[in-house]
Structure 1
Amino acid sequence: MASALKGRLKRFEQRFERVLWRLRLVAILPVIMSLVSTVVAFVLGTLEIGKALAAFGKVDQLDKEFVAELLGAIVSGIDLYLIGIALLIFGYGVYELLISPIEAAREHDQGGGGLLDIRSLDQLKEKLVKVLVVALIVSAFKAMLTLPIKDGPSLAFFCLSVLLLALSGYLVTANGNRTVP
């Protein structure tokens, strides 16, 4: 009697674990949405840069304000590309971690270490943080292009912003260059 009960509990546990294992496939939804969002971000970035280049082609005379606006539009496009890259890394990482390793990526792997070489949740987090920090640096750079510097305090804030951007860039790259004894 006790062995029959143990056998039923074991079968129930095995069925439950199979259902639980298949439930991980629900993660395909954020993968698909992030990949679609990647394409949208790339298209929007391309349109933004295209509009800037079209405006440049129509200009008769270059002045400081126009150049700042033109650079701002180009930097906005680059920022959209970086957001698209972050979405691509997220989708790829979720797929690799929860659904299945992508064999095509492993075939062409030349030693690994690329942005899409994600084998753990910590690697995914680290790569996303790096790309997002670069996107924030680019956004801050765009804001700094049009920042009016009229007096000493505004110059001090501008210099502080440059220092913080340089520090954040250093911290992002310094983390990857640490050697573990």
Structure 2
Amino acid sequence: MNKLEQKFEKFLWQSRFLVLVAVIASLLGAFVLFLVGTIDIVEVAVSAARYYMGQGTVAIHDFIVTDIIVAIDIYLIAVVLLIFGLGIYRLFISSIDESESHGDSHPFNVKSFDELKDKIVRVVILAVIIEFFRAVVDIRFSTPLDAIYLALSVLALAVSLFLMSWHSSRSGK
């Protein structure tokens, strides 16, 4: 191997550190989302306390459930960013010693892109289900057909969760 080729290959190998941009951005995004979700929950708690102490003018029953569901959705997206950031760090840069001590089943311990994708997809599907639940909480039926559509949607979600669970158990994940 000639010297130019060795230098170029070393440059290519070192270029993996570009992933650190995505890792840092993912961790920053996760931090911001955790902060936003927490602030949302605190605001709901303050509104509830004011309402029950007789100081609130707005009925909390109109928004409390949906606001908490939105906060949970925000937390799940933050978890996706954490799994993504730490997963690509582990795949491209180095294993994380602390996570190694928690075993292979820990969400941050990924060994391949397929495993990283699978873990992210699971959390995203959960976020979609929670978003669906939030939409269902606010639903008002105008016709009996609307109720049937809702029932079919819930059935489709249940079947998809069953198939996902069944696939995981068959593939040993």
TM-score (norm 2): 0.89
What is the count of residue pairs matched by the alignment? Answer: 167
Q: Is the 8 A contact 1:69 1:146 kept in 2?
A: no
SS of residue matched to 1:48: helix
Partner residue of 2:166? 174
* In 2: Cα distance, 1:155 partner to 1:58 partner: 35
Shift of 1:66: 4.3
Q: 2:107 aligns with which of 111, 115, 119?
A: 115
* In 2: Cα distance, 1:124 partner to 1:76 partner: 25
Deviation string for 1:142-165 (max 9, x for gaps)? Answer: 011001123201111211221122
Partner residue of 2:92? 98
1:166 aligned partner, one-letter code: A
The reply on whether 1:159 has 2:151 as its aligned counterpart is yes
Q: Is the 8 A contact 1:25 1:99 kept in 2?
A: yes
Partner residue of 1:52? 44
**% identical equivalent positions:** 32
Partner residue of 2:140? 148
Deviation string for 1:19-64 (max 9, x for gaps)? Answer: 0000110110000000010111111111111222222222259xxx
**Cα 1:154/1:66, change in 2 over 3 Å:** farther
* In 1: Cα distance, 2:50 partner to 2:164 partner: 39
Q: Is the 8 A contact 2:99 2:106 kept in 1?
A: no
Q: Is the 8 A contact 1:39 1:84 kept in 2?
A: yes
Q: 1:85 aligns with which of 79, 102, 114?
A: 79
Gaps of 5+ in 2: none
Q: Is the 8 A contact 1:68 1:145 kept in 2?
A: no
Q: 1:67 aligns with which of 53, 61, 75?
A: 61
Q: Considering only CA atoms, is the larger Rg found in Structure 1 or Structure 2? A: 1
Gaps of 5+ in 1: 1-8
Q: After TM superposition, what 4+ stretches of structure 1 lie above 3 angstroms from structure 2?
A: none
Q: Is the 8 A contact 1:41 1:83 kept in 2?
A: yes
SS of residue matched to 1:101: coil
Q: Is the 8 A contact 1:30 1:91 kept in 2?
A: yes
Which segment drifts farther, 170-179 or 86-95? 170-179
TM-score (norm 1): 0.85
Q: Is the 8 A contact 1:118 1:124 kept in 2?
A: yes
Shift of 1:174: 2.3
* In 1: Cα distance, 2:154 partner to 2:135 partner: 11
**Cα 1:163/1:80, change in 2 over 3 Å:** same
Deviation string for 1:79-129 (max 9, x for gaps)? Answer: 0010000000000111001111112221x22x3212111011110000000
Partner residue of 1:5? none
* In 1: Cα distance, 2:50 partner to 2:152 partner: 36
* In 1: Cα distance, 2:161 partner to 2:50 partner: 36
The reply on whether 1:16 has 2:8 as its aligned counterpart is yes
